[in-house]
Amino acid sequence: MPRKPIIAGNWKMNCTQPEAIQLIRELLPLVSSDDLSDRVEMVVAPPFTALAAARQELAASTISLAAQDVFWKQSGAYTGQISPAMLVDAGVRYCIVGHSESRGRFGVPEPDFDETVLRHFGDSDETVRRKVSVLFQFGLTPICCVGETLAERKAGRTDATVIGQTERALQGLTAEQVATLVMAYEPVWAIGTGEVCDAPEADRVCGLIRATVERLYGRTAAERVRIQYGGSVKPSNAVELLAKENIDGALVGGASLKATDFAQIISAAPHR
């Protein structure tokens, strides 16, 4: 069965409620054809504070709502956190977890650490695993991010990093759950830098994630799991990336904040 491409816009820490409403109102007329929604699944991930406004604007559309993170407890004394039950209540269907901007490497020196690339919100492979698992308990679908830093790539550790992060994030899931989730390969050095991972290499690493899923969860899960590429996806490179066999969509940051760019990226999804 062919995999339906999924294009998600990760707005990160952008958009007040009026800005979110405006962005969605600009986007909707550009992506509302039946042909497009048959061919590609569309998702936007506003910040928590704009979820309610976005939900209202999207009510009559085929675009799904995603959150950018979740905590793994249902409720309690966890100041600043958002529970999976709250995301269900907010009308969310997908949730990004393990984004490199949310992961941290406390105690591990990072030669390429850059203050402008915030990677210190403390997610570890273990917290990512808990978040993935709790999302399934609440009927939400994770968009689980993995990817190597520049230092890891330079040290020849790309494959080991991506395979290890994938194995640990999915630990304890059933093959059926893995089949329905979304993985996102986001090389850290390509995020927000304008530097895109070239399409053959992005395809190769996405293939590696699929092979890891096959080894651990079997052929059917590997054939069904959707794997996005993320990192400086733009209208100019989307067609080539999305045409690749192992790339089933894109997780788009900066370009998702411009309705025309995001619509062009969505339109670049192939017929499958």
Residues in the site for ligand 13P, rule: CB under 6 A?
10, 99, 186, 191-192, 230-233, 251-255
Is 186 annotated as catalytic? yes
Min CB(58)–ligand 13P separation in Å: 19
3-class DSSP state of 58? helix
Spatial CB neighbours of 39, under 8 Å, sequence gap ≥ 6: 4, 5, 269, 270, 271, 272
Tokens of 189: 């050095």
Strand intervals (E) in 86-180: 94-97, 141-146
In terms of Cα–Cα distance, which of 131, 165, 171 is closest to 146? 165
The nearer residue to ligand 13P, 84 or 249, going by C-beta atoms, is 249
The nearer residue to ligand 13P, 7 or 208, going by C-beta atoms, is 7
Tokens of 37: 């929604």
In terms of Cα–Cα distance, which of 129, 148, 113, 143 is closest to 44? 143
Instruction: Name 144's bridge partners.
Output: 97, 183
Annotated catalytic residue within 57, 99, 101, 148: 99
The nearer residue to ligand 13P, 103 or 222, going by C-beta atoms, is 103
In contact, 147 and 99? CB cutoff 8 Å = no
Min CB(100)–ligand 13P separation in Å: 7
Min CB(116)–ligand 13P separation in Å: 13
Min CB(253)–ligand 13P separation in Å: 2
Is 99 annotated as catalytic? yes
* Separation of alpha carbons 3 and 248, rounded Å: 7
The nearer residue to ligand 13P, 47 or 254, going by C-beta atoms, is 254
Which residues are marked as active site? 99, 186
